[in-house]
Amino acid sequence: MLMFGITPLTRPLYIFMFITVDLADRFSGPVPELQLASQVLHVLFLFLPLLWALGILPPLDALFLWGMEQALVFGLGGSPMSSNLRLLLMFGVSAGVAVCNYFIPSTLGVVLFSISMGFLLSLDLSQVGTLWGSTTPPPSSFGWNLGYRELLLYLSLLLVAMAEGGLLHHFLGSAQSESLVMGPQALVSYVLLVLFCLCWALREIQGAYVFGGMFLNPLYPKGMSSVKTFKKRNRGLYTAATFRRVFLYLVSPFTMIAFLSMDKSLQLLHRASLSLGFTRAFRVVWQSSEDALLQMAVVVLVRLAAGDNVLPGWDNLGTGVQLLLVGLLIDRLTQFLAKLKFTLTVLVTSWTEKKQRRQSAGTLLAVNASLCPLLLVVVTLSALLSAPLLPLFTLPIFLVGFPRPQRSWPGPVGTACPCLDSIFYQQMSGSLASALRTAFARGSLGSLAPGSHFLGRFQDRMVWIMILERGYGYCTVNVKGLELQETSCHTVEARRVDEVFEAAFERPEHLGFTQGFNLHWGNALTPCAALAVRVYSDARNVLSGIIDSHDNLRKLQDDYLKALVWLLLRYCVQKHKGFLWSTEEGPGVESNVSSLRFRQDSSSLTSFGDWSDEDDLFGPQPARRTVALVTAEVQPGHTALQTGASLPGSVEMDSLFENMALSALQPLQPLGLGIGMPAVDKGQNSEVFRESPGSLPPLNFSCPQSEVFNLPTGWRTAPLLPSRLLQLKPLFPEDWFRFILGEFGPAVQGEATDDMTKALKEDEALKELHAQVALSCLTSLGAESAFTSPSYVYRLYCGDVPWTEGLDWLSSSKELYQLALRAFRFSFKLLFDQASLGPMESPEELFSTLEEYERDWYIGLVTEKGWHDSILQEKPFLFSLGHDLAMGTYTGRVLSLQEQLVQVGRLNGEGVRGQWANLSWELLYATNDDEERYSIQAHPFMLRNLTVQAADPPLGYPIYSSVPLHFPCL
């Protein structure tokens, strides 16, 4: 509500600020700075309407948060925060530390207080809740949560740092030599330079490119044949990374504390600038050790370059303020170079890229060339303000975007536009977190500054990684998943990303100079490293020659009965052992009914479903009774599924069986015995179709152990004549049934003996029971004749079965329906495997294959809840049958969970911020929401379409976005 209240006051408050400066100038004494500010604001006042129209003046909330972030980072030594609340709290506490330092009378007390508070505030304080159990703890490996091992390490580091700083300041702080290149502090200065060179060199060799991405790293492993080979070749770099971590996180902080504790300017601490400078200096030592090492190396080099000469303006600032200015200067210079590279990319590609060349391209280039000084002023002003450089409609027309925090978006981190494919990114986020943790610790991804962006690529998946926070031993990131390749713009940029990564990671062993140079240096993406991540590899196969083969379809019936018998006996074993039937392991009734829907084809009468309206001249048509409908009816409270309308007066035979061959239809039966039509007489003669459980003859098992494999009584009440089942009895696999009993029998017997197992196999009553249930399921699915239609197989796999006289009975039992559907899916997977790998050689092989399906596979549909749950539970394999309506082919999709190399590259952060600023300006100020507008079309160099996708909704549309993830980096 606060933001909604401030936004309408933005323009009046700007006017009020202009008037305030003018009144202060009029009624105060002559102050040159105030007079200059008043004159400048008088001129700007005339251009306020233009500045508002161009969106250059920031909203007050963005201005307030930007100013707070800049003060926290450069004035107090902190880091940008992942949320506005964290930013407010951290700024308040950090400012309190600076105020306390100003009033502490003892310089020793200032040193100890600054070291302790700087260390504590640089830790990931958000994980304190995990220590007390108030939040769900992350993985238990070291550093993921704040445990007793972490507390012991942090306490030891804090005590050693305080002891070191206090002793050095007490004994050597006031005994420094007048010479800036002599004395104990000068000795530490040389150590700092050596540490900086070592850390920089060890970090540089960890990535695929060196020297800012210009040259290939000859030490980086060549070829990406396998994860195992890659790790083996990378062992030398892992060893170098271990030394870097020790130097950076253990040696460097204590060396920098020694340098600061002995500084003679601490004696003049009770000045506001010096108090602020040393508060920041002792904080940044921990908050960003790598940046602090660079800043101190610059200060030391300036001292060494000056020698014994005194630099009055510089030396009077004190070491703390010097470090503050050096840090600000390095940041602004880095931003300037990144913005300049982004500017050149936009300018050059507007002419060299044919698809980006517009009629006005030559004119715009000429204007930019003639106004080159003005362009440099715009880039410089943008860098000084730490504001995004805004290319208007991504054309070579540059403006200074309004200053905003590094996160760029006002909303909370983690909003997305989820879809079915989001589940893949959700699954890989955990393994990706572990891989990123290792990469961050080793320095494989370069310097980690908040606001950095990385792009990961694996098969058709794109992962966008943004650094939100950085502290001592931790890094907070946001991981986004982009849509899979669907649009042409996405495909064009994805192809360029692949080319950039191939040039870096799939290069030959011996390279010449031209091959060692990065030919894609002007691209927004610079490859960094390959990370081993556990992800699902997605393979799709066209089933032509498999699903339409008559030999395969004839064998499908036999495989179905074998799979069903195996599942029935396994069900009995599980029930005997006390395991409840879990619907999460397989496709349950609830998960399937919601996802099954009647499929409309051009070859079926259901393609006229769009013709239906509310005023049917011929009255309402009876709905078709598919398995989805019947199953929905038996579930209390389940809403009816929507079906397509029929042509008035037509008979539904065609729509039921679609393009099935006539030979696949069930033979007509005598009137009253069911002819595949919905109407069944359930009046006085209903006992012909369904017997009550009490009237069923008792089962007389010849073996006492057979009672374990008894099935529920209701499963024997199928509305089928005994003579019909008797005709189908030869289809029942008796040898297979006895083999499974021999395998399952010992599992349910107290003391398994050969005689007991033999008696179990010879129990005719048990065999007849399972034969009756299995053949009843076969008939209820309309599959008593051999499968001869791929369309019918696909419908049955999806659970979309035409009505039969046994459908009501089958769907009335959720467990039996679940077993029957799962058995058919298992049988189709057997068909797929045998067509690809060859037939099963023995019953033992078939038995082990079915066990593997049950244990390691999920076989179903991508729209089912079980499919999504299995991905999150990281089931090793998943299989789905699909139908490509456009090509008229059936496809098999196999997901395999395995460790794969995900290639990661660094994006030009200023290019990303500039394009996001243009996106925000365009949709909020220019209201150009055309989905095909120029500014979101594919740009292979700037990756414009991918960048727009990665923006937070509603301006962007990532299909997955994680909450802020905290990674340990020690």
| 86-112 exposure pattern, b = at least 16 Cβ within 10 A, e = fewer | bbeebbeebbebbebbeebeebbebbb
- The average confidence (pLDDT) of the chain is 79
Q: What is the pLDDT of residues 114-156, one digit of tens each?
A: 999 999 999 987 776 655 554 455 566 676 777 788 888 889 9
Cis amide leading into 954 (omega within 30) = yes
Q: Is pLDDT at 750 greater than 70 in this prediction?
A: no
Per-residue confidence (pLDDT) for residue 376, from 0 to 100: 95
Q: Which residues contact 866 (CB under 8 A, 6 or more apart)?
A: 583, 584, 585, 586, 587, 588, 591, 858, 860
Range from 269-273, 445-449, 527-531 carrying the lowest mean pLDDT: 269-273
Q: What is the pLDDT of residues 30-69, one digit of tens each?
A: 788 888 888 888 888 888 888 887 778 888 888 999 999 9
Which has the higher per-residue pLDDT, 720 or 363? Answer: 363
Per-residue confidence (pLDDT) for residue 913, from 0 to 100: 95
Q: Match 């991504």 to its residue by tokens.
A: 394
Q: Is pLDDT at 929 greater than 70 in this prediction?
A: no
Asked whether the beta carbons of 757 and 745 are under 8 A apart, the reply is yes
Q: Is pLDDT at 654 greater than 70 in this prediction?
A: no
Instruction: Indicate the domain borders of the chain.
Output: 7-54, 342-403, 421-524+908-968, 550-579+702-857
Per-residue confidence (pLDDT) for residue 67, from 0 to 100: 93
Residues 415, 951: Cα–Cα separation, whole Å: 10
Per-residue confidence (pLDDT) for residue 263, from 0 to 100: 84
Per-residue confidence (pLDDT) for residue 179, from 0 to 100: 54
Q: What is the pLDDT of residues 296-305, one digit of tens each?
A: 999 999 988 8
Per-residue confidence (pLDDT) for residue 176, from 0 to 100: 57
Residues of the chain with pLDDT > 90: what percent? 29
Per-residue confidence (pLDDT) for residue 593, from 0 to 100: 36
Q: What is the pLDDT of residues 206-262, one digit of tens each?
A: 888 888 888 888 888 876 677 888 888 888 888 898 999 999 999 999 999 999 988
Q: How many CB atoms within 10 Å of residue 576?
A: 15
Token pair of 267 as six digits: 């004696």
Per-residue confidence (pLDDT) for residue 68, from 0 to 100: 94
Question: CA torsion sign, 404 to 405 to 411 to 417?
Answer: positive
Q: Is pLDDT at 377 greater than 90 in this prediction?
A: yes
Per-residue confidence (pLDDT) for residue 696, from 0 to 100: 66
The rounded Cα 209 to chain-centroid distance in angstroms is 26
Q: Is pLDDT at 877 greater than 90 in this prediction?
A: yes
Per-residue confidence (pLDDT) for residue 555, from 0 to 100: 84
How would you classify residue 536: left for phi > 0, otherwise alpha for psi between -120 and 50, otherwise beta? beta
Confidence category of residue 199, pLDDT binned at 50, 70, 90: very high
Residues 118, 76: Cα–Cα separation, whole Å: 10
Residues 723, 716: Cα–Cα separation, whole Å: 15
Q: What is the pLDDT of residues 470-506, one digit of tens each?
A: 999 889 999 999 988 777 777 888 899 988 888 888 8
Range from 184-188, 203-207, 566-570 carrying the lowest mean pLDDT: 184-188
Question: CA torsion sign, 220 to 222 to 223 to 226?
Answer: negative
Q: Is pLDDT at 521 greater than 60 in this prediction?
A: yes
Q: What is the pLDDT of residues 574-624, one digit of tens each?
A: 887 766 444 434 444 344 433 333 333 333 333 333 333 333 333 333 344
Token pair of 302 as six digits: 């300036």
For residue 803, CA distances in Å to 628, 650, 656, 776 come to 10, 17, 8, 14
Q: Is pLDDT at 652 greater than 60 in this prediction?
A: no
Task: Tell me the mean pLDDT in the region 942-954.
Answer: 90
Residues 61, 410: Cα–Cα separation, whole Å: 9
- Where is 485: in which H helix or E strand? none
Q: Which pairing describes strands 889-907 and 525-542: parallel, antiparallel, or unpaired?
A: antiparallel
Asked whether the beta carbons of 400 and 385 are under 8 A apart, the reply is yes
